[in-house]
């Protein structure tokens, strides 16, 4: 059921995720979906967790476990996030952010949790003085968010231009 929900969101976006559409896709009564996901927020949260895990796995592979300088962390993360493999999860993430900006529940809370999670994770991966790591991690998340938004709204070329403006080496990307 959850795999079908993820496919539905991947193909048609978060707004397509309804009990009825998911039930129709699985050829089951919508009450069955409600049984496993009593609220739509429960269903959305489960789907978002899968997309978040996908992004985290992709980034974990690219970033490794050793502390990195901010520029290296940004470069590695950006290279991982501008792949076809990351695109679907990034689109969903940007949908969550858009819904949060419009103050639509549960996305406002969800987006904040996701942002805090990325900032915490990047804080642990940053080299340098502990006193400034969280602030620098938040700045890196903001840069990546901006690059992702540009990539998904304006296209890869403008995003690459902006990445060069951040000092990233985008040759061969």
- The domain ranges of the chain are 48-165
Angle separating helix axes 84-101 and 70-81, nearest 10 degrees? 100
Q: Is pTM, for the whole model, over 0.85?
A: yes
DSSP state of 68: B
Residue carrying structure tokens 């890869």: 156
Cα–Cα distance for residue pair 170/159, rounded to 1 Å: 10
| Bridge partner list, 68 | 126
**Residue 19: other Cβ atoms inside 10 A:** 16
pLDDT at residue 171, as a whole number: 65
- pLDDT for 153 equals 96
Terminal C-alpha separation, the chain: 36
Q: Is the pLDDT of residue 119 over 70?
A: yes
Mean pLDDT, all residues of the chain? 93
DSSP-derived letter for residue 167 is T
For residue 168, which phi and psi values (nearest 5 degrees)?
Answer: -80, 145
Q: Please, are residues 76 and 63 in contact by the beta-carbon 8 Å criterion?
A: yes
Classify 137 as helix, strand or coil. helix
| pLDDT digits 0-9 by tens, 54-89 | 999 999 999 999 999 999 999 999 999 988 889 999
CA distance 111 to 107: 6
Structure tokens at 10: 């991947």
Buried b (16+ CB within 10 A) or exposed e, 147-173: bbbbbbeeeeeebbebbeebebebeee
Identify which of 22, 17, 173 has the alpha carbon closest to the alpha carbon of residue 95. 17
Q: What is the pLDDT of residues 159-170, one digit of tens each?
A: 999 999 999 977
């Amino acid at each position: 059921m959850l795999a079908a929900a993820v496919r539905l969101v991947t193909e048609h976006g978060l707004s397509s995720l309804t009990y009825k559409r998911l039930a129709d896709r699985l050829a089951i009564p919508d009450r069955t979906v409600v049984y496993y996901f009593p609220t739509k927020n429960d269903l959305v949260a489960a789907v978002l967790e899968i997309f978040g895990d996908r992004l985290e796995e992709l980034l974990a592979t690219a970033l490794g476990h050793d502390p990195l300088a901010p520029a290296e962390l940004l470069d590695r993360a950006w290279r991982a996030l501008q792949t076809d493999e990351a695109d679907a999860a990034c689109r969903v993430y940007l949908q969550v952010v858009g819904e949060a900006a419009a103050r639509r529940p549960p996305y406002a809370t969800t987006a904040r949790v996701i942002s805090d999670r990325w900032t915490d994770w990047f804080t642990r991966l940053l080299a340098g003085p502990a006193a400034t790591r969280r602030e620098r991690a938040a700045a890196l998340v903001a840069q990546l968010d901006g690059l992702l938004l540009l990539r998904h709204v304006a296209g890869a070329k403008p995003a690459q231009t902006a990445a060069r403006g951040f000092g990233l080496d985008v040759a061969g990307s």
